[in-house]
Amino acid sequence: MRIGPNQPKEVTMTALRQRMLADMKLRNYSPSTQRLYIGYVARFARHFGQCPSELGGEDAREFFQHLIEVKKASWTVYNQTVCALRFLYRVTLDRDEMIRHLPFPRQEKTLPTVLSEEEMTRFFQAVTHPRDRVILLTIYAGGLRVSEALHLKPGDIDSDRMLIHVRQGKGKKDRMVMLSPTLLEELRHYVRWARPHHWLFPGMDPTRPLHTRTLQRRCQLTAERAGITKRVTPHTLRHSFATHLLDAGTDLRVIQTLLGHRRVTTTTIYTHVSTQRVQDTTSPLDRLPDLTPPAPNG
């Protein structure tokens, strides 16, 4: 039985949360997406001090205006909030009439931050913690998402075939990426030092992988130590991986496969940040014949 708008008001936010979680699990949403969606719905409820089942379209409009004008929410936060509320009202509450009040915002066209190879070298030289160093090397060497790297297990490193098995990446898809010989040596030193068991990169609690936010903080601190003024996150290393491969002449379809992109159009953004391709392109001005003005008569 669905929780609908005409049901008793004693339907609490806790009951709604459990129902929404069950709906997401049935549709195989990842644990991280489940946490994000529940968090955004909870913020919506806290803003009004009411259960979302009691709120309407004008409330949604007011909330999104608050996100934009007061909270100065980024496009990503705004978009994820819209997705969370669309799921809540379309699936869990069965209220399609609410969807028209939840329009998707137009995405800002920004290019990803990419480190040069020289900056990349300085960055890795500045990493002080052995575990952090190997995680960040793994992200850059294989173009992994941070969640994919942190959920690796020792058995996912296939040194015989020189492959890394990325399990249940975005979209619940497995894929293989190359295992760099340099990374393999770093991993062997790390394993002898850390002796990991279930997770290759465990956190303080060895039964859980290192938390994403911990690595994000370490990443920015490392960039500051390296004298890099750009905002550097673990995802910056993934962007740099793709761009450096493109600069080296790797086919875009191969990069698409390595990154785990469903559509090649997602991968083409790296053609806009590849400085090597820009530098290798001849300006049409240089194809014109001699532009020297003719000598004056007489």
Q: Which sequence positions are flagged as catalytic?
A: 145, 170, 235, 238, 261, 270
Pick from 97, 82, 20: nearest CA to 51:
20
**Phi/psi of residue 186, each to 5°?**
-65, -40
Pick from 266, 234, 274: nearest CA to 250:
274
Cα–Cα dist 253/260, whole Å: 11
- The token duo for 6 is 């005409």
Cα–Cα dist 70/288, whole Å: 54
Strand order in the sheet with 157-158: 157-158, 163-169, 173-178
Please provide the size of the chain in residues. Answer: 298
Pick from 108, 67, 109, 72: nearest CA to 84:
67
CB 207 within 8 A of CB 85: no
Query: Which sign, positive or negative, has the C-alpha torsion 87, 91, 93, 94?
Result: positive
- The token duo for 76 is 């990503």
The HSE-up count of residue 283 (CA atoms within 13 Å, CB side) is 3
**Phi/psi of residue 43, each to 5°?**
-65, -40
Beta strands in the chain (DSSP E): 157-158, 163-169, 173-178
